[in-house]
Chains A and B, each alone.
Chain A
Amino acid sequence: MNTDLELFIEYLPFLIPIILIQFGLAIFSAIHVIRHPHYRFGNQVIWLLIVLFIQFIGPIIYFVAGRGDEDGR
Protein backbone atom coordinates (compact mmCIF):
# COMPACT_ATOMS: atom_id res chain seq x y z
CA MET A 1 0.00 0.00 0.00
CA ASN A 2 2.86 2.23 0.87
CA THR A 3 4.33 1.98 -2.61
CA ASP A 4 0.99 2.86 -4.15
CA LEU A 5 0.89 6.08 -2.18
CA GLU A 6 4.45 6.89 -3.18
CA LEU A 7 3.56 6.22 -6.79
CA PHE A 8 0.53 8.44 -6.47
CA ILE A 9 2.56 11.29 -5.05
CA GLU A 10 5.14 10.87 -7.76
CA TYR A 11 2.49 11.39 -10.42
CA LEU A 12 0.74 14.22 -8.61
CA PRO A 13 2.30 17.00 -10.73
CA PHE A 14 0.61 15.37 -13.72
CA LEU A 15 -2.63 14.32 -12.14
CA ILE A 16 -3.67 17.59 -10.56
CA PRO A 17 -3.82 19.69 -13.74
CA ILE A 18 -5.28 16.87 -15.86
CA ILE A 19 -8.06 16.11 -13.39
CA LEU A 20 -8.78 19.80 -12.80
CA ILE A 21 -9.09 20.56 -16.50
CA GLN A 22 -11.08 17.45 -17.42
CA PHE A 23 -13.61 17.84 -14.67
CA GLY A 24 -13.69 21.58 -15.07
CA LEU A 25 -14.47 21.30 -18.76
CA ALA A 26 -17.08 18.57 -18.23
CA ILE A 27 -18.83 20.55 -15.50
CA PHE A 28 -18.63 23.82 -17.39
CA SER A 29 -20.17 22.20 -20.46
CA ALA A 30 -22.84 20.47 -18.40
CA ILE A 31 -23.84 23.81 -16.86
CA HIS A 32 -23.97 25.32 -20.33
CA VAL A 33 -26.15 22.44 -21.56
CA ILE A 34 -28.60 22.96 -18.70
CA ARG A 35 -28.75 26.74 -18.90
CA HIS A 36 -29.17 26.94 -22.67
CA PRO A 37 -31.83 24.35 -23.41
CA HIS A 38 -31.87 24.91 -27.17
CA TYR A 39 -29.95 22.53 -29.35
CA ARG A 40 -29.62 22.10 -33.07
CA PHE A 41 -30.43 18.44 -32.64
CA GLY A 42 -30.76 15.96 -29.81
CA ASN A 43 -32.13 16.74 -26.38
CA GLN A 44 -30.81 17.73 -22.99
CA VAL A 45 -30.25 14.22 -21.67
CA ILE A 46 -28.27 13.13 -24.72
CA TRP A 47 -26.06 16.21 -24.60
CA LEU A 48 -25.48 15.85 -20.86
CA LEU A 49 -24.35 12.26 -21.36
CA ILE A 50 -22.11 13.20 -24.28
CA VAL A 51 -20.54 16.12 -22.45
CA LEU A 52 -19.96 14.28 -19.20
CA PHE A 53 -18.78 10.92 -20.47
CA ILE A 54 -16.80 11.57 -23.64
CA GLN A 55 -13.53 13.18 -22.69
CA PHE A 56 -12.61 16.33 -24.65
CA ILE A 57 -14.37 15.34 -27.85
CA GLY A 58 -17.78 15.47 -26.15
CA PRO A 59 -17.62 19.15 -25.13
CA ILE A 60 -16.12 20.04 -28.51
CA ILE A 61 -18.93 18.37 -30.42
CA TYR A 62 -21.42 20.11 -28.19
CA PHE A 63 -19.94 23.59 -28.59
CA VAL A 64 -19.32 23.23 -32.31
CA ALA A 65 -22.33 21.28 -33.51
CA GLY A 66 -24.92 20.93 -30.78
CA ARG A 67 -25.12 24.37 -29.22
CA GLY A 68 -28.14 26.28 -30.44
CA ASP A 69 -28.24 30.00 -31.03
CA GLU A 70 -29.16 32.41 -28.30
CA ASP A 71 -32.50 33.20 -29.87
CA GLY A 72 -33.52 29.60 -29.42
CA ARG A 73 -33.32 28.30 -32.95
Chain B
Amino acid sequence: MSQWLGFLKKEWTESVKSYKLLLTVLIFSVIGILNPFTAKITPAVMEKFMPEGTVLNLPEPTALDSWLQFYSNFSQMGLLVFILLFSTMMSKELEKGTLIILLTKGLRRSTVITTKLVMGLLYWTIAFLLTFSITYCYTAFYWDQSILEHVLLAASCVYVFGILIFIVTLWGNTYFASAYGGLLVTVGVVIALFIIGIFPNTASWNPLQLLTAPPQMLIGEVTPKKLLTPFLVAMGTGLVFLIGTLIHFHKKRL
Protein backbone atom coordinates (compact mmCIF):
# COMPACT_ATOMS: atom_id res chain seq x y z
CA MET B 1 0.00 0.00 0.00
CA SER B 2 2.76 2.42 0.89
CA GLN B 3 4.35 1.56 -2.44
CA TRP B 4 1.13 2.47 -4.16
CA LEU B 5 0.85 5.78 -2.33
CA GLY B 6 4.48 6.52 -3.03
CA PHE B 7 4.00 6.01 -6.74
CA LEU B 8 0.84 8.10 -6.62
CA LYS B 9 2.82 10.89 -5.02
CA LYS B 10 5.42 10.59 -7.76
CA GLU B 11 2.69 10.88 -10.38
CA TRP B 12 1.28 13.96 -8.66
CA THR B 13 4.66 15.66 -8.43
CA GLU B 14 5.34 14.86 -12.06
CA SER B 15 2.04 16.28 -13.23
CA VAL B 16 2.55 19.47 -11.24
CA LYS B 17 6.11 19.88 -12.50
CA SER B 18 5.04 19.38 -16.09
CA TYR B 19 2.51 22.21 -15.67
CA LYS B 20 -0.51 19.93 -16.01
CA LEU B 21 -2.17 21.25 -12.85
CA LEU B 22 -1.64 24.84 -13.93
CA LEU B 23 -3.01 24.24 -17.41
CA THR B 24 -5.99 22.26 -16.13
CA VAL B 25 -7.00 24.91 -13.61
CA LEU B 26 -6.58 27.83 -16.00
CA ILE B 27 -8.22 26.32 -19.05
CA PHE B 28 -11.17 24.81 -17.29
CA SER B 29 -11.93 28.01 -15.40
CA VAL B 30 -11.92 29.86 -18.72
CA ILE B 31 -14.30 27.29 -20.20
CA GLY B 32 -16.50 27.76 -17.15
CA ILE B 33 -16.59 31.51 -17.64
CA LEU B 34 -17.06 31.28 -21.41
CA ASN B 35 -20.32 29.31 -21.13
CA PRO B 36 -22.53 31.99 -19.57
CA PHE B 37 -20.58 34.67 -21.42
CA THR B 38 -21.33 33.21 -24.86
CA ALA B 39 -24.96 32.70 -23.94
CA LYS B 40 -25.28 36.28 -22.78
CA ILE B 41 -23.39 38.02 -25.55
CA THR B 42 -24.78 36.14 -28.57
CA PRO B 43 -27.96 38.27 -29.01
CA ALA B 44 -25.97 41.49 -28.65
CA VAL B 45 -23.43 40.34 -31.22
CA MET B 46 -26.11 39.23 -33.64
CA GLU B 47 -27.75 42.64 -33.41
CA LYS B 48 -24.46 44.40 -34.09
CA PHE B 49 -23.49 42.38 -37.13
CA MET B 50 -26.85 42.08 -38.86
CA PRO B 51 -27.34 44.54 -41.71
CA GLU B 52 -29.39 47.52 -40.67
CA GLY B 53 -33.09 47.18 -41.03
CA THR B 54 -33.15 43.46 -40.35
CA VAL B 55 -35.63 42.79 -37.65
CA LEU B 56 -34.51 40.05 -35.36
CA ASN B 57 -36.70 38.62 -32.73
CA LEU B 58 -34.13 36.98 -30.56
CA PRO B 59 -35.49 35.80 -27.27
CA GLU B 60 -33.69 36.87 -24.15
CA PRO B 61 -31.06 34.31 -23.18
CA THR B 62 -32.05 32.08 -20.31
CA ALA B 63 -30.27 29.76 -17.93
CA LEU B 64 -30.87 27.00 -20.46
CA ASP B 65 -28.69 28.75 -23.07
CA SER B 66 -25.87 28.99 -20.60
CA TRP B 67 -26.06 25.28 -19.85
CA LEU B 68 -26.32 24.42 -23.54
CA GLN B 69 -23.02 26.23 -23.96
CA PHE B 70 -21.66 24.13 -21.12
CA TYR B 71 -22.53 20.95 -23.02
CA SER B 72 -20.97 22.12 -26.25
CA ASN B 73 -17.83 23.64 -24.72
CA PHE B 74 -17.03 21.28 -21.90
CA SER B 75 -17.78 18.07 -23.76
CA GLN B 76 -15.85 19.10 -26.87
CA MET B 77 -13.14 21.58 -26.00
CA GLY B 78 -12.83 20.38 -22.42
CA LEU B 79 -12.59 16.71 -23.28
CA LEU B 80 -10.13 17.44 -26.09
CA VAL B 81 -7.89 19.45 -23.77
CA PHE B 82 -8.03 16.79 -21.09
CA ILE B 83 -7.21 13.93 -23.47
CA LEU B 84 -4.38 15.94 -25.05
CA LEU B 85 -2.92 16.66 -21.61
CA PHE B 86 -2.96 13.02 -20.55
CA SER B 87 -2.31 11.36 -23.89
CA THR B 88 1.36 10.81 -23.14
CA MET B 89 1.13 9.51 -19.59
CA MET B 90 2.11 5.92 -20.39
CA SER B 91 3.93 6.33 -23.69
CA LYS B 92 6.39 8.84 -22.26
CA GLU B 93 7.56 6.37 -19.62
CA LEU B 94 7.57 3.47 -22.05
CA GLU B 95 9.55 5.37 -24.68
CA LYS B 96 12.14 6.60 -22.20
CA GLY B 97 12.30 3.34 -20.30
CA THR B 98 12.05 5.07 -16.93
CA LEU B 99 9.79 2.33 -15.61
CA ILE B 100 12.28 -0.50 -16.06
CA ILE B 101 14.37 0.40 -13.01
CA LEU B 102 11.33 0.73 -10.78
CA LEU B 103 9.79 -2.51 -12.03
CA THR B 104 12.97 -4.52 -11.55
CA LYS B 105 13.17 -3.15 -8.02
CA GLY B 106 9.88 -4.85 -7.28
CA LEU B 107 7.21 -2.32 -8.15
CA ARG B 108 4.05 -4.15 -9.10
CA ARG B 109 2.95 -3.59 -12.66
CA SER B 110 -0.68 -3.08 -11.72
CA THR B 111 0.42 -0.24 -9.42
CA VAL B 112 1.67 1.72 -12.41
CA ILE B 113 -1.65 1.49 -14.24
CA THR B 114 -3.91 2.09 -11.25
CA THR B 115 -2.00 5.13 -10.00
CA LYS B 116 -2.04 6.67 -13.46
CA LEU B 117 -5.76 5.97 -13.67
CA VAL B 118 -6.42 7.54 -10.27
CA MET B 119 -4.31 10.57 -11.16
CA GLY B 120 -6.19 11.06 -14.42
CA LEU B 121 -9.54 10.71 -12.66
CA LEU B 122 -8.41 13.20 -10.03
CA TYR B 123 -7.57 15.75 -12.71
CA TRP B 124 -10.82 15.09 -14.56
CA THR B 125 -12.71 15.62 -11.29
CA ILE B 126 -10.89 18.89 -10.64
CA ALA B 127 -11.64 20.01 -14.20
CA PHE B 128 -15.29 19.04 -13.99
CA LEU B 129 -15.90 20.63 -10.61
CA LEU B 130 -14.17 23.84 -11.65
CA THR B 131 -16.12 24.26 -14.87
CA PHE B 132 -19.38 23.18 -13.31
CA SER B 133 -19.17 25.41 -10.26
CA ILE B 134 -18.05 28.47 -12.22
CA THR B 135 -20.80 28.04 -14.80
CA TYR B 136 -23.30 27.39 -12.02
CA CYS B 137 -22.35 30.52 -10.08
CA TYR B 138 -22.46 32.82 -13.11
CA THR B 139 -25.72 31.32 -14.33
CA ALA B 140 -27.30 31.63 -10.91
CA PHE B 141 -26.16 35.24 -10.76
CA TYR B 142 -27.61 36.27 -14.11
CA TRP B 143 -30.62 34.03 -14.60
CA ASP B 144 -33.29 32.10 -12.82
CA GLN B 145 -32.29 28.46 -12.71
CA SER B 146 -35.51 27.11 -11.27
CA ILE B 147 -36.82 26.32 -14.78
CA LEU B 148 -34.21 23.57 -15.15
CA GLU B 149 -34.29 20.07 -13.79
CA HIS B 150 -31.46 17.78 -12.74
CA VAL B 151 -28.68 20.31 -13.32
CA LEU B 152 -25.99 18.38 -11.48
CA LEU B 153 -27.15 14.97 -12.68
CA ALA B 154 -27.22 16.06 -16.33
CA ALA B 155 -23.74 17.55 -16.06
CA SER B 156 -22.34 14.46 -14.40
CA CYS B 157 -23.31 12.42 -17.48
CA VAL B 158 -20.57 14.25 -19.36
CA TYR B 159 -18.24 13.47 -16.47
CA VAL B 160 -18.97 9.74 -16.78
CA PHE B 161 -18.40 9.84 -20.53
CA GLY B 162 -15.08 11.57 -19.89
CA ILE B 163 -14.02 8.73 -17.59
CA LEU B 164 -14.78 6.20 -20.34
CA ILE B 165 -12.81 8.16 -22.93
CA PHE B 166 -9.91 8.56 -20.52
CA ILE B 167 -9.70 4.82 -19.86
CA VAL B 168 -9.81 4.14 -23.60
CA THR B 169 -6.94 6.57 -24.07
CA LEU B 170 -4.99 4.88 -21.30
CA TRP B 171 -5.46 1.52 -23.01
CA GLY B 172 -4.43 2.81 -26.44
CA ASN B 173 -1.48 4.58 -24.90
CA THR B 174 -0.26 1.46 -23.14
CA TYR B 175 -0.95 -0.83 -26.06
CA PHE B 176 0.75 1.20 -28.78
CA ALA B 177 3.29 2.87 -26.47
CA SER B 178 3.05 6.12 -28.39
CA ALA B 179 1.05 9.30 -27.89
CA TYR B 180 -0.41 9.15 -31.38
CA GLY B 181 -1.54 5.57 -30.88
CA GLY B 182 -3.56 6.50 -27.82
CA LEU B 183 -5.11 9.50 -29.51
CA LEU B 184 -5.97 7.52 -32.64
CA VAL B 185 -7.67 4.81 -30.61
CA THR B 186 -9.70 7.42 -28.76
CA VAL B 187 -10.72 9.19 -31.95
CA GLY B 188 -11.59 5.82 -33.49
CA VAL B 189 -13.80 4.88 -30.53
CA VAL B 190 -15.62 8.22 -30.61
CA ILE B 191 -16.19 7.93 -34.37
CA ALA B 192 -17.45 4.39 -33.89
CA LEU B 193 -19.88 5.62 -31.23
CA PHE B 194 -21.13 8.30 -33.61
CA ILE B 195 -21.62 5.76 -36.39
CA ILE B 196 -23.53 3.52 -34.00
CA GLY B 197 -25.57 6.56 -33.01
CA ILE B 198 -26.84 6.95 -36.59
CA PHE B 199 -29.16 4.01 -36.02
CA PRO B 200 -31.99 5.37 -33.90
CA ASN B 201 -32.77 2.15 -32.06
CA THR B 202 -29.33 2.13 -30.44
CA ALA B 203 -30.21 5.25 -28.47
CA SER B 204 -31.28 3.18 -25.51
CA TRP B 205 -27.77 1.94 -24.76
CA ASN B 206 -25.21 3.96 -26.74
CA PRO B 207 -22.84 5.68 -24.26
CA LEU B 208 -22.81 8.67 -26.59
CA GLN B 209 -26.25 9.41 -25.18
CA LEU B 210 -24.42 10.63 -22.11
CA LEU B 211 -23.24 13.54 -24.24
CA THR B 212 -26.30 14.20 -26.36
CA ALA B 213 -29.19 13.61 -23.98
CA PRO B 214 -28.37 15.91 -21.00
CA PRO B 215 -29.68 19.12 -22.63
CA GLN B 216 -33.04 17.40 -23.08
CA MET B 217 -32.84 16.18 -19.53
CA LEU B 218 -32.59 19.79 -18.33
CA ILE B 219 -35.95 20.68 -19.83
CA GLY B 220 -37.48 17.45 -18.61
CA GLU B 221 -37.86 15.69 -21.97
CA VAL B 222 -35.65 12.79 -20.99
CA THR B 223 -36.00 11.15 -17.62
CA PRO B 224 -32.80 10.21 -15.77
CA LYS B 225 -33.96 6.60 -15.84
CA LYS B 226 -33.47 6.46 -19.60
CA LEU B 227 -29.79 7.15 -19.19
CA LEU B 228 -29.24 4.30 -16.77
CA THR B 229 -28.43 1.77 -19.51
CA PRO B 230 -25.97 4.05 -21.36
CA PHE B 231 -24.40 4.76 -17.97
CA LEU B 232 -24.01 1.08 -17.17
CA VAL B 233 -22.70 0.34 -20.68
CA ALA B 234 -20.16 3.15 -20.34
CA MET B 235 -19.02 1.91 -16.95
CA GLY B 236 -18.87 -1.69 -18.18
CA THR B 237 -16.86 -0.77 -21.28
CA GLY B 238 -14.56 1.30 -19.13
CA LEU B 239 -14.01 -1.64 -16.80
CA VAL B 240 -13.30 -3.98 -19.72
CA PHE B 241 -10.74 -1.57 -21.15
CA LEU B 242 -9.17 -1.13 -17.72
CA ILE B 243 -8.81 -4.87 -17.21
CA GLY B 244 -7.50 -5.14 -20.76
CA THR B 245 -4.87 -2.52 -19.96
CA LEU B 246 -3.85 -4.33 -16.77
CA ILE B 247 -3.56 -7.71 -18.51
CA HIS B 248 -1.70 -6.27 -21.48
CA PHE B 249 0.74 -4.31 -19.34
CA HIS B 250 1.34 -7.35 -17.20
CA LYS B 251 2.65 -9.27 -20.19
CA LYS B 252 4.25 -6.35 -22.01
CA ARG B 253 7.94 -6.54 -22.74
CA LEU B 254 9.58 -3.30 -21.74
Which residues of A come within 8 Å of B, CB atoms?
7, 11, 13-14, 17-18, 21-22, 24-25, 56-57, 59-61, 63-65, 67
The tally of residues in B whose CB lies under 8 Å from a CB in A reads 24
* Cβ–Cβ < 8 Å partners of B40 in chain A: 11, 14
| Shortest Cβ distance from B87 into A: residue | A64
Given A14-B37, A18-B37; A60-B27 close (CB under 8 Å) = yes
Give the residues in chain A near B81, CB-CB below 8 Å: 56-57, 60
B247 at the interface (CB under 8 A from A): no
A18 to B33, CA, bound (A): 7
Main secondary structure of the interface of B (DSSP, over half): helix
On whether the beta carbons of A60 and B26 are closer than 8 Å, the reply is no
Number of residue pairs spanning A and B whose beta carbons lie under 8 angstroms apart: 51
A7-B44, A11-B37, A11-B40 given; A61·B29 CB < 8 A: no
Checking A14, A57, A61, A67 against B36 with a beta-carbon cut-off of 8 angstroms, the contacting residue is: A14
> Which chain B residues border A17 with CB–CB below 8 Å?
29-30, 33
Chain B nearest Cβ from A5, distance in angstroms: 13
Known A56-B81, A63-B18: A21·B23 in contact at CB below 8 Å: no
Chain B residue with the shortest CB-CB distance to A69: B96
Answer whether residue B194 sits at the interface, using C-beta atoms and an 8 A cutoff: no
Assembly CA distance A17 to B27 (angstroms): 11
Q: How far is the CA of A67 from the CA of B87 in the complex (A)?
A: 15
Within 8 A of A (CB), among B46-78: 77
Q: A14-B33, A14-B138, A65-B179 are in contact. List 19 more A-B contacts (CB 8 A).
A: A11-B40, A11-B41, A13-B138, A18-B34, A18-B37, A21-B26, A22-B30, A24-B26, A25-B26, A56-B30, A56-B77, A57-B84, A63-B18, A63-B19, A63-B20, A64-B85, A64-B87, A65-B88, A67-B18
List residues of chain A with CB within 8 A of the CB of B84.
Answer: 57, 60-61, 64
How distant is B187 from chain A, measured CB to nearest CB, in Å? 16
A61 contacts which chain B residues (CB < 8 A)? 84
Contacts of A14 in B (CB 8 A): 33, 36-37, 40-41, 138
Closest-CB distance, B14 to chain A (whole angstroms): 13
Smallest CB separation, B151 vs chain A (Å) = 20
A17 CA / B19 CA spacing, docked (Å): 20
Nearest neighbor of B29 in chain A, beta-carbon distance: A21
A56–B88 Cα distance when bound, in Å, is 18
Please give, as numbers and ranges, the residues of chain B lying within 8 Å of A56 by CB-CB distance: 27, 30, 77, 81
